[in-house]
Structure 1
Amino acid sequence: MSEVNCIKTLRNEKGLSISQIADTLDINWRTAKKYGDGDQLPQEKTFLKKGMMYEERWGEIVLDWLEEDSKVKKKLRRTNKQMHEELVALGFPGSYRTVCDFIANCKAARDDEQSKGYERLAHPEGEAQVDFGVMEAVHEGEIVDVHALIMSFPASNTGFVVPLPSENQECFLSGLKLLFKQAGGIPLSIRIDNLTPAVKKVRGSEGEAQLTDEFMAFKNHYGFKVQVCNPRSGHEKGNVERKVGYVRYNFFSVPPVIKDFDDLTEQLYQKFLIDRKRMH
């Protein structure tokens, strides 16, 4: 393929004639013509599956059962053994292993089809992710909810957290300012989900999500870019999702006793200073 690519480059980008390519690369003129002017799109291979599960009605029956089971709870679905027993009752002459292999192939094909529309997310340095997580703390002898605003940097896996009394716009923007102060700078871009304080219209068929006027002014003032995740797509900010769980299980597994939110902010800041020194 490297030689084919070289021929294509000389023909399409350098403008060499077929004869010039053949002389330059010391190859046959017909070879230069074939790869220089011909279409070299790879052809998808198709394999004709054979056997009673594919050539007779048994495969269609199993596919119908799999479709039915996908709509009920997992514990109510048929097992492979149950499917084989029901097929035998209908006159199926094949073995249990034949049914298992067919089901495994069907599930593998379904998983491949579902994964075609996804690609691995890239997280360059300077990109942050932000999200809220609800924790619990003890204040004046009572359990209170703490809305922890967490900012993580996937490239380094470091994180910062600010506890807040609510998730309204005032708390959200004030929390971001404190996170920037803790981080010692402003991220180049921030990825968020459809937070009400930041997004007034979610992304849909009409295009990009619309930011609130206040958050837009805040963004323009600090000079960072905003990436809004698609609805119900937590995997698009998976790093901060995991960081929320990390904070909950490592710093709030036992609700801390606090004087006020400033006190809790300082407690978490000092704990995260120590935490960032561990091996990531």
Structure 2
Amino acid sequence: MLAMPEINYIKHLRNNEDMNITDISNNLGRNWRTVKKYADGDVPNETVRVNKRGMMYDEGYGEIVDFWLEEDMKLNRKDRRNNKNIFEQLVEEHGFKGSYRTVCDYIQFKKPQLKQLKETRYQRLEHPPGEAQVDFGNMTVVKDGNYKDLKILIMSFPYSNAAFAYPLPAENSECFLHGLKELFQQAGGVPTHLRIDNLSAAVVSVGKGDYRKYTDSFLRFQAHYGFEVQACNPARGNEKGNVEKKVDYTRCNFFVSAPIMKDFPTFTEWLKEKLVEDRNRPHYVKGKLINELWEEETKALKALPIKAFSIYSIDSSVVNKYGEITVDGEKFVIHKAHIKQGVIVKKEWDSFSCLGEDGEIIYQEMRPYMNIARKIPWDDIFGDWEKKPRSVSYSRYLKYLPERVRKYLIISADETKSRIKGLRKLYKKYSFEEIDSLLENENFLERAPHELGFMLAAKKNTYPTSFVETHTPSVLKDYETDLHSYDKRLFPNHERSMN
């Protein structure tokens, strides 16, 4: 449709200047039929756009997406679901039959446009096979019903865009080197060059130009594996842009909804499988599958050393007057050591050991950061669920509850709201593990929350049943002492009266 000023001008030439259609078309450079349409036709009215309503509105999918968007707005930007995550979750969990574009259009309508960040152009770097970049990424998982913040060490290969990841509890030297060792094992070889930033786990100080002073432990590790180090300049993240993007990619695709972690070995295997599956997609520039490019790149890797490299650090400490030493800022009582005794502390990535004067291990414990966790804000979550009880079944937090507690919440749609309120009160007194244990009896799934409260209170106040004593010899059981014999020994001249 032409703009109104041009339409008015066409009508002016036709009606007031008596020009024919051909002359007007030639003068304005417009198609003859277009000029004819506006010169002799009616003035077009402004069209009213009506937004089409479809399954996002009529079948309730829009309500689900609305709740997800509201839920994600309370999280950090890095933890929010993107359009692809939302579409895939709708398909997998709710049988959505619409297209990805339908979901994107709906989200664009509902979600305010984000301001585009100014993009700074950097010179494209060409990377030969075998070169790798490494960096830490902060991710969150759920372990034992609480949030746990992990440091995911990611190693990417720019040539093939293949990546490997290893979860760690901290960014210290022991964790960093242990993570690198495991990443080399996953890759099946050692990169020829490794680009790192100036992280304190490896770099002591930064000098002029390319000069870096590395920690002794990192230099020993480098010498054992035989790779070259390429250090980034300070505040130049673009110099390792491939791994920076890979950290964001890993977070957006595998950690947007915090996964459940049982333990480090199990979670490591899960993350490894996810990244292996991710290689079955085309390279963003080369067009070939990442897996095919990775098979080519493995030929350029160095072989793994035959001898394993032991990763630990040695420190010394003195037992104070309370029998304690300090490790990672926490105090530990060493019962087998005396006051003012010097002990050797051997730190590994997940644990530490104390050695006495003769080299004997006198104490072992997990490092304090292994047990650091954050509570999930269940009171706020239950508050949101009370307002929208139908949203419980597709909330991102539901899977973090124990299985029987989840079942208790959603087993009866009519009672969901009352059960949410009841469980919210119960959680202030009892843990979800206690509630889940009580619900082992499936008959209790039909009970109201206040009834569960009575049973939990009674269970807490129950005294343990007496145990059967089996150590007393049978000859002594039910034995009655003859006190008369004691009287004879004490008073031989007096007979004890029985009256």
Smaller-chain TM-score range? 0.5 to 0.7
How many equivalent residue pairs?
Answer: 164
The secondary structure found in structure 2 opposite 1:219 is helix
**Which structure has the higher relative contact order (CA within 8 Å, separation 6+)?**
1
* 1:189 is aligned to 2:193: yes
Q: Paired residue for 1:152?
A: 156
- RMSD over aligned CA atoms reads 1.6
User: For 1:178, which of 176, 179, 182 is the aligned residue?
Assistant: 182
Distance 2:195 2:134 in 1: 6
User: For 1:242, which of 233, 240, 245 is the aligned residue?
Assistant: 245
* 1:212 is aligned to 2:215: yes
Distance 2:165 2:134 in 1: 10
Is the 1:147–1:166 Cα contact (8 Å) retained in structure 2?
yes
The secondary structure found in structure 1 opposite 2:268 is helix
Distance 2:193 2:260 in 1: 35
User: For 2:228, which of 225, 228, 243 is the aligned residue?
Assistant: 225
User: For 2:263, which of 238, 260, 271 is the aligned residue?
Assistant: 260
* 1:201 is aligned to 2:205: yes
Cα deviations by residue, 1:98-121 (Å, 9 ceiling, x for unpaired):
xxxxxxxxxxxxxxxx98xx7542
The secondary structure found in structure 2 opposite 1:278 is coil
Is the 1:203–1:231 Cα contact (8 Å) retained in structure 2?
no
Distance 1:167 1:132 in 2: 8
TM-score of the two chains, using structure 1 as the length reference: 0.57
Q: 1:229 to 1:203 in 2, by over 3 A?
A: farther
Q: Paired residue for 2:146?
A: 142
Cα deviations by residue, 1:2-22 (Å, 9 ceiling, x for unpaired):
xxxxxxxxxxxxxxxxxxxxx
Distance 1:153 1:237 in 2: 11
Q: Report the alpha carbon displacement of residue 135 of structure 1 after superposing the two structures with TM.
A: 0.2
* 1:276 is aligned to 2:279: yes
Q: Report the alpha carbon displacement of residue 270 of structure 1 after superposing the two structures with TM.
A: 1.0
Distance 2:270 2:204 in 1: 34
TM-score of the two chains, using structure 2 as the length reference: 0.32
Is the 1:129–1:240 Cα contact (8 Å) retained in structure 2?
yes
- Counterpart code for 2:183: L
Is the 1:194–1:231 Cα contact (8 Å) retained in structure 2?
yes
Distance 2:261 2:123 in 1: 44
The secondary structure found in structure 1 opposite 2:221 is helix
Q: Identity, % of aligned pairs?
A: 56
User: For 1:251, which of 251, 254, 257 is the aligned residue?
Assistant: 254
Q: Paired residue for 1:56?
A: none
Q: Paired residue for 2:82?
A: none
Unmatched 5+ stretches in structure 2 = 1-119, 284-499
Q: Report the alpha carbon displacement of residue 276 of structure 1 after superposing the two structures with TM.
A: 1.1
User: For 2:129, which of 111, 125, 128 is the aligned residue?
Assistant: 125
Cα deviations by residue, 1:237-269 (Å, 9 ceiling, x for unpaired):
000000000000000011010111111101101
Cα deviations by residue, 1:52-101 (Å, 9 ceiling, x for unpaired):
xxxxxxxxxxxxxxxxxxxxxxxxxxxxxxxxxxxxxxxxxxxxxxxxxx
Distance 1:128 1:251 in 2: 22
Distance 2:133 2:272 in 1: 18
Q: Report the alpha carbon displacement of residue 278 of structure 1 after superposing the two structures with TM.
A: 1.8
Is the 1:131–1:241 Cα contact (8 Å) retained in structure 2?
yes
Q: Report the alpha carbon displacement of residue 210 of structure 1 after superposing the two structures with TM.
A: 1.3
Q: Paired residue for 1:161?
A: 165
The secondary structure found in structure 1 opposite 2:233 is coil
- Counterpart code for 2:168: L
- Counterpart code for 1:254: S
Unmatched 5+ stretches in structure 1 = 1-113
Distance 2:238 2:279 in 1: 24
- Counterpart code for 1:184: G
Q: Report the alpha carbon displacement of residue 129 of structure 1 after superposing the two structures with TM.
A: 0.1
Asked which structure has the greater CA Rg, the reply is: 2
Is the 1:203–1:230 Cα contact (8 Å) retained in structure 2?
no
Distance 1:119 1:147 in 2: 29
Q: Report the alpha carbon displacement of residue 204 of structure 1 after superposing the two structures with TM.
A: 2.8
173-182 or 120-129: which moved more? 120-129
Q: Report the alpha carbon displacement of residue 203 of structure 1 after superposing the two structures with TM.
A: 3.8
Distance 1:120 1:203 in 2: 26
Cα deviations by residue, 1:154-210 (Å, 9 ceiling, x for unpaired):
0111100000011111010000011001101000000000011111012436x5111
The secondary structure found in structure 2 opposite 1:257 is coil
The secondary structure found in structure 1 opposite 2:164 is strand
Distance 1:203 1:137 in 2: 37
